[in-house]
Amino acid sequence: AKKWINIRKSYGNFYKVPRNQTKLTIMLENLGMNYDGRPHSGLDDSKNIARIAIRMLQDGCDLRVNERIHGGQLMTVSSSVPLEGAPAPQMPRCRN
């Protein structure tokens, strides 16, 4: 793979949150989701990242390739068309 979508980067840009708010457990928590599976399990981490991506798509995010390898170097891929983000996710409120 020479091109991919960095979900942490997409999440931060879309929801307008700082990089320290893009750790997997924090992203899930901010979206009102629990971590499913064992922490640091590659398969479980992948499933949770997929859940975040699905939620972002539901919220209107246009996921695009944002990183690539060129000449052995990691490069950021910038979009020529600016995308509008959504407001930061809010924890679901309990109804009484």
What's the whole-model pTM score?
0.78
Looking at residue 79, its pLDDT comes to 62
Q: What distance, in Å, lies between the first and last C-alpha atoms of the chain? A: 49
Show pLDDT as tens, one digit a residue, over the chain (96 residues). Answer: 789 999 999 999 999 999 999 999 999 999 999 999 998 899 999 999 999 999 999 999 999 999 999 888 888 887 654 444 556 666 555 554
Looking at residue 92, its pLDDT comes to 54
The pair of structure tokens assigned to 56 is: 């972002």
Identify the structural domains of the chain with CATH numbers, from first to last.
1-74 (3.30.420.10)
CA-based torsion, 42, 6, 89, 63: positive or negative? negative
